[in-house]
Amino acid sequence: DRIARRQDREFAEFRKRLKDTEQFKLDDGAFDDATYAAVYKLVQDEHVGAMGGPISTGKEANVYEAHDAEGGDVAVKVYRINASNFKQMREYLEGDPRFEGIRGDKKAVVLSWTRKEFSNLQRAAAAGVRVPHPIAVQRNVLVMELIGQEGDAAPTLSDVNVENPETAYEVVREYVRRLYAAGLVHGDLSEYNIVVYDGELVVIDVGQAVTIHHPNSDDLLRRDCRNVANFFARQGADADPDELYDYVTSN
């Protein structure tokens, strides 16, 4: 009918506008038609006003700066439907009661993965871990708080001089403990997935985080503890992987 036709036309115009934006020409691969439709829906729902340039282009996802409808800053993470490593991604959904019985194909896995990151952000925040505030999820597109400022996204812990490694280590220790107490293991925790902004440490990239029901959750936790403790030990803190693991898992 007429309304549907008008909506189709508006969507086509929106897609053309996005496609014509300089930064999207570079990585059109991440944006199939359904991804444009997802961004369009987020625009209609006023979670996104305008898309900006990429902050990061990764293997599984690209992260962009954007504005919401009021012109506030947000970060938009777009997962590739054609992720080359979707088989590994599928393994991270195993045993997770939230994603029981999902179809095993590429698309279903990537869509679940996106929802998993959104719900992990919610759960981490509720557990008192500083993460980007989750705003909306649509298909393979996640909208969250931008850590840092427009044109100046916060650096990762690997890119800054850690002025007080003992204090920073204490904070991260507490984050890992709280996550675990909330039933989550980050699974890719390191100096590359912690950003530093305004005196705060912010944990990011929680898409792969698994619940403690996952068959490998214990190995993943040990690896997280190793990455974190070894990093802070290199910075001069008194940090040990086994001690961290014991601290996180006791009580």
Question: Which residues are part of the catalytic machinery?
Answer: 188, 205
Does residue number 146 form part of the binding site for ligand ADP (CB under 6 A)?
yes
Does residue number 147 form part of the binding site for ligand ADP (CB under 6 A)?
yes
d(CA 164, CA 194): 15
Q: Which does 208 bind (CB under 5 to 8 A by kind): Mn ion, ligand ADP, none?
A: none
For 8, the token pair is 């189709």
Near ligand ADP by CB under 6 A, which window of 51-59, 84-92, 166-174, 235-243? 51-59
Q: Which is nearer to ligand ADP, 112 or 245 (CB)?
A: 112
Does residue number 193 form part of the binding site for Mn ion (CB under 5 A)?
yes
CB of 192 to ligand ADP, least distance (A): 6
Cβ proximity of 200 and 130 under 8 Å: yes
Window 67 to 96, contacts with ligand ADP (CB under 6 A) = 75
CA 100 vs CA 104, 112, 140, 214: distances in Å: 11, 10, 19, 12
Instruction: Tell me phi and psi for residue 201, to 5 degrees.
Output: -100, 125
CB of 155 to ligand ADP, least distance (A): 7
Q: Quick count: other Cβ atoms within 10 Å of Cβ 29?
A: 11
Q: Quick count: other Cβ atoms within 10 Å of Cβ 21?
A: 13
CB of 205 to Mn ion, least distance (A): 4
Q: Which is nearer to Mn ion, 43 or 75 (CB)?
A: 75
Does residue number 190 form part of the binding site for Mn ion (CB under 5 A)?
no
Does residue number 68 form part of the binding site for Mn ion (CB under 5 A)?
no
Cβ proximity of 42 and 64 under 8 Å: no
For 64, the token pair is 């962009």
Near ligand ADP by CB under 6 A, which window of 37-45, 60-68, 86-94, 173-181? 60-68
Cβ proximity of 40 and 61 under 8 Å: no
Indicate the helix (H) or strand (E) that contains 26. Answer: helix 22-26
Q: Which residues lie near ligand ADP (CB under 6 A)?
A: 55-56, 58, 60-61, 63, 75, 132, 144-148, 153-154, 156, 193, 195, 204-205
